[in-house]
Amino acid sequence: MNITLRQLSYLVALAEERHFGRAAARVHVTQPALSTQIRELEDRLGAPLIDRTDREFRLTPAGREVLEGAHRIMAEVERIETQARWGEGLSGRLKLGIIPTVAPYLLPVALPMLRMRDVTLDLRLTEAKTERVLAALADGQLDAAVVAIPAGLPGLIERPLFRDRFLLAASRASVAAVTAKGPVLPEELNPNALLLLDEGHCLADQALEVCGTSRGQTRVDLRASSLPTLCGMVAAGFGQTLLPEISLSKECAAAPDMDVLAFAEPQPARTIGLVRRDLGGPEGWFSELGEILATAGRELLGHDAAA
């Protein structure tokens, strides 16, 4: 019996999960089925790949060597599949990841554009925090992702889509009081009044960087999981937050007692971009997708631009 790609993929999953049950769930088989394939791979190679003398999972020296080769083989297979899949441009199935501080604002504008271009496009969306989206992208579970760039990871191709300004959001009375004092810089904000998203949201880290502060300096530990929650809190007078411009019309409509204020120049902003792994092959689909998303972003920001 020859070595199969299935066996190599199971070995990769097992090495990364370090647990037979989790690896089996990841590749959508039963644990006995995965164990059988690993045993058959060991029999074919004539060497044990898993050290079964210890309760802690570890590969044998032969296992580590085979794993290195498996990674190279699976990467080449994926590159070939990608070339064939995207040879005709943006069509078929597209698995796209997008972060929560972009998804509810950009998608309602972008999705009709994608459907208008190709009604047969099978779009599979994953909304998750940056770390999870990038992990899924690296693992081949996603074709591309919309995140704030630079993503800070090697092996990615990044395409800027649009610049998303940060605005000061607070109750109407608070914004009126701040406006009366003249132009405002982010670093002049009181960190004790700053409300942030829960840890893991890149927007929270960006807000702290913009304001030149840290979580330890903030007094209100809200740990909100969404921008609507933050906006409801600041509208009620419980503090201030930084609001991305793309969310402006939706969040202001949902929280009518909230107001926003643009910062003095140079205005802080994040760059939203489209990223994919650098696997070579056709790039037409990526360029097409990037242009559609960039157009949607420009349309959204044109509608929502703040003074």
Residue recorded with tokens 């409509």? 253
pLDDT at 62: 93
pLDDT at 82: 66
Residue recorded with tokens 């992990």? 135
Q: Which is more confidently placed, 113 or 218?
A: 113
pLDDT at 145: 96
pTM: 0.72
Question: Mean pLDDT, to the nearest integer, of 277-302?
Answer: 87
Percent of the chain with pLDDT over 70: 89
Give the whole-angstrom CA distance, residue 105 versus residue 299.
11
pLDDT at 88: 64
Three-state secondary-structure class, residue 194: strand
Q: What is the pLDDT of residues 94-150, one digit of tens each?
A: 899 999 999 999 999 999 999 888 878 888 999 999 999 999 888 888 889 999 999
Q: What is the pLDDT of residues 167-200, one digit of tens each?
A: 988 888 888 887 777 788 877 777 777 888 776 5
* Domains assigned to the chain: 5-85 (1.10.10.10), 93-307 (3.40.190.290)
Q: Is the pLDDT of residue 215 over 60?
A: no
Give the whole-angstrom CA distance, residue 120 versus residue 93.
9
Taking the CB of residue 38, how many other CB atoms lie within 10 A of it?
20
Contact criterion met (CB below 8 Å) for 159 and 288:
no
Q: Which amino acid is at 211?
A: C
Q: Is the pLDDT of residue 63 over 80?
A: yes
Please state, rounded to an integer, the average pLDDT across all residues of the chain.
85
Q: What is the pLDDT of residues 222-269, one digit of tens each?
A: 566 788 888 888 888 888 888 899 999 899 888 888 998 888 888 889
* Cα 6 from chain centre: 28
